[in-house]
Amino acid sequence: MTTTTAVIDLDLPGPTISRHVYGHFAEHLGRCIYGGFWVGEDSPVPNVRGIRADVVEALRALHIPNLRWPGGCFADDYHWRDGIGPRDQRPRMVNSHWGDVVEDNAFGTHEFMDLCDLLGADPYVSGNIGSGTVAEMSDWVEYLTRADDSPMAALRRANGRDEPWRVPFWGLGNEAWGCGGNLRVEQFASMARQYATYARDQGGNALYRIAAGASDADYHWTEVLMRSFDDLAQDPAAPAGPFQAVSLHYYTMSGPWSDKGSATEFTTDEWYLTLSRARYVDELLTRHSTVMDRYDPHRKVGLVVDEWGTWWNVEPGTNPGFLYQQNTLRDALVASVHLDAFHTHADRVVMANIAQTVNVLQAMILTDPDSGALVLTPTYHVFAMNTGHHDAASLAVHLRDVETRDVDGRSLPMVSASASTKDDTALVSLSNLDADAARTIVLDLRGRDVVGHTAHVLTAPALNAHNTAEAPSTVAPAPHAGVRAHPRGLEVDLPAHSYVTVALDLR
Is 307 known to be catalytic? yes
Of the residues 103, 142, 307, 470, which is catalytic? 307
Sign of the Cα pseudo-torsion (117, 118, 124, 125, in order)? negative
Active site residue 491: no
Query: To which H or E segment does residue 410 belong?
Result: strand 410-413
* Alpha-carbon gap, residue 236 to 142, rounded angstroms: 31
CB-CB contact of 322 with 98 (8 Å): yes
**Residues in the chain, overall count:** 507
Distance in angstroms (rounded) separating the CA atoms of residues 458 and 474: 10
Phi-psi region of 404 (alpha: psi -120 to 50; beta: other; left: phi over 0): beta
Q: DSSP string of 58-95?
A: HHHTTT--EEEES-SGGGGG--GGGGSS-GGGSPPEEE
Identify the helix (H) or strand (E) that includes residue 195: helix 185-198
Q: Measured between alpha carbons, how far is 470 from 71 in angstroms, rounded to an integer?
A: 31
Catalytic residue among 103, 175, 270, 315: 175
- Candidates 248, 252, 239; CA nearest to 292 is 248
CB 285 within 8 A of CB 348: yes
d(CA 144, CA 184): 31
Half-sphere exposure of 102 (CA within 13 A, CB side): 4
Q: Are 378 and 329 in contact (CB under 8 A)?
A: yes
Residue 284 half-sphere exposure toward CB, CA atoms < 13 A: 27
Q: How many CB atoms lie within 10 A of CB 119?
A: 24
φ, ψ for residue 451, nearest 5 deg: -110, 0
Q: Tell me which residue of 159, 405, 182 sits closest to 272, measured CA to CA.
A: 405
Report in angstroms the alpha-carbon separations of 497 from 274, 441, 479, 492. Answer: 13, 14, 16, 14
Asked if 324 and 274 count as a contact pair (C-beta separation under 8 A), the reply is no
443 three-class SS: strand
- Closest C-alpha to 37, from 476, 360, 371: 360
The per-residue b/e assignment along 76-90, b for 16 or more CB within 10 angstroms, e otherwise, is bbbebbbbbbebeeb
Nearest in space to 7 (alpha carbons), one of 401, 414, 320 = 401
What is the 3 state secondary structure string of 411-466? EEECEEEEEEEECCEEEEEEEECCCCCCEEEEEEEECCCEEEEEEEEECCCCCCCE
Catalytic residues: 175, 307
